[in-house]
Chains A and B, each alone.
Chain A
Amino acid sequence: MSAQHAIELRALVRGYGRRAVLKGLDLELSPGKVVALFGVNGAGKTTLLRLLATRLRPSDGKALVFGHDVVRDGHEVRKRIATLAVFGGAYATLTAREHLHLDAALRERAVGNADALLERVGLTDAKDALVRTYSSGMRKRLGLARLLAADARLWLLDEPHAALDHDGQDLLDELVRGARERGVTVLMATHERQRSRALSDASLLLDDGRLRRLEPEAAP
């Protein structure tokens, strides 16, 4: 039954104009797994994440998140996911604390202890500064705080290690492990072979528009 899978893809196709990027993907992913998604630049990793995040519509086929169709039940899908964009996805003219309050309001959650969350990701000193003063790594750390605050069942991470310093990457790995312990499913598009191999339960390769399962040690 579809609801048993965190992610289910059935002959999923997506193209841009005449160029087909995803050429009929099939996948069933159990909840609570951490999965690394590899592929060369332009392979379609971000396209797949955006499809699952309801930001893109499939050209053909189906994508289900916890049994909910990303096109027909987009709202239900969005209740269950949290995303981390390559560049953090933050507004330059808001502060870190304001982002957490905005997210909490939009997700209808209590904001909780925003200061503790920001301390966790190392942004205590910058919590009231506008994001436009942040480095790219700090923006990514804010993205991590927002990810934690979302309390979602599926994390969709696009190149999560990019822009983070060594400590930041360690922190990210720690947060992903913690998420897995809480039963959160994590799908991360990444080029970080070493770290992702150590972190993930399974690895997928997007190659020529098709998905292949890889053993972690065989990841490219």
Chain B
Amino acid sequence: MNDLLAVLWIARKDLLHETRSKATTVATLFFSAVTLVVLAFAIGQDEQLLRGAATGALWVAIAFAGVISAAQSYQADLEDGAFDHLLTTPVPRAAVYLGKLLANWLFMLVLSLLMLPVTFVLYGAGFPGAWPWLLATVALGTLGFALIAVFYAGLTANLRARESLLPVLMFPIVVPILLASVRASGALVGVGDLELAQGWLRLLVAFDLVYAVLCTAIYHFVVEE
């Protein structure tokens, strides 16, 4: 079985859904923009303080938008028993997880890349010279977030209180990812310490690897009742 092809088809399905419904896009874009503006407004006129808070604000916006995106990621699946039907096809559960993960990660990555310049402008932070490392941080941070989000969204998909349970369950797990992402991007944008950033990035890679292996391996427990 070509599992990779199945992963791509499932991701395509989810991305097609999002491009056609735009439900998550509108909500996350609006929410992220409001978060960035409100935080900048709360910090005030102090330019040094604003610059120092830039990457923290960025990751707060990404995290909140990520929760909305995760909560919506199974919405289309739950209608009319579509996900049930998908799970009766001979596709490994791991491929279903990885397909949904790929779609969710790409969505979060694009959202984060849109938020990056907005953050730099709003918070007056200079674009770092080591920008490829900043992009790597965003890619790895959003990947780690999506790994946890898609897993826990699947776990709570059939629960009545899923909207409130999802952040409660996933945030404690996702904290190391967020801390490492904030530290790595902070080191790049603030003091320009590439060596420090690389240390946090290595940690981020390790987190992503552990979560990827773990979530993929046990996802079948999530979808089987």
Contacts and interface: CB of A to CB of B under 8 A. Distances in A.
Interface string B139-179: 00000000000000000000000000000000000000000
Contacts, number: 84
A102 B13 contact: yes
Interface in B161-213: none
A57 B80 contact: no
Contacts of B90: 75, 78-79, 106-108
B82 A89 contact: yes
A130 to B, nearest CB: 7
A85 B91 CA distance: 18
B40 to A, nearest CB: 35
Contacts of A207: none
Interface string B49-87: 000000000000000000000000000110111101111
A56 B88 CA distance: 11
Given A85-B81, A105-B6, A108-B2, A130 B88 contact: no
Q: Determine which residue in A53, A81, A106 has the highest number of CB atoms from chain B within 10 A of its CB, and name it.
A: A106
A86 to B, nearest CB: 7
Nearest to B9: A105
Contacts of B48: none
B91 A106 contact: yes
Interface in B1-60: 1-2, 5-6, 9-10, 13, 16-17, 20-21
Interface string A91-107: 11110001000110111
Contacts of A50: 84
Interface in A175-216: none
Given A102-B13, A108-B2, A75 B92 contact: yes
A171 interface: no
Contact of A106 (B20, B89, B224): B89
Nearest to A103: B89
A81 B80 contact: no
Contacts of B13: 91, 94, 102
B89 A93 contact: no
A85 B89 CA distance: 13
Contacts of A10: none
B225 A90 contact: no
Given A57-B225, A90-B80, A106 B85 contact: no
A108 to B, nearest CB: 6
Contact of A87 (B5, B80, B224): B80
B34 to A, nearest CB: 26
Contacts of A146: 85
A139 B81 CA distance: 12
Q: Determine which residue in B2, B17, B82, B92 has the highest number of CB atoms from chain A within 10 A of its CB, and name it.
A: B82
A83 B85 contact: yes
Given A105-B5, A106-B89, A89 B81 contact: yes
A85 B85 contact: yes
Contacts of B21: 93
B9 A87 contact: no
A92 B80 contact: yes
A94 B1 CA distance: 24
A88 interface: yes
Interface in A54-92: 54-57, 75, 78-79, 81-83, 85-92
19 contacts: A55-B225, A75-B90, A78-B88, A81-B88, A83-B85, A83-B88, A85-B81, A88-B81, A89-B81, A90-B82, A91-B76, A91-B79, A98-B16, A103-B89, A108-B1, A108-B90, A130-B20, A139-B80, A146-B85
Interface of B: 1-2, 5-6, 9-10, 13, 16-17, 20-21, 76-77, 79-82, 84-92, 224-225
Given A103-B89, A106-B90, 9 more contacts: A54-B88, A78-B91, A83-B88, A85-B85, A86-B81, A89-B80, A89-B82, A94-B17, A106-B6
Which 10 A-B pairs give the minimum distances between C-beta atoms?
A: A89-B85, A85-B81, A87-B80, A78-B90, A106-B89, A93-B17, A79-B90, A93-B20, A89-B81, A105-B9
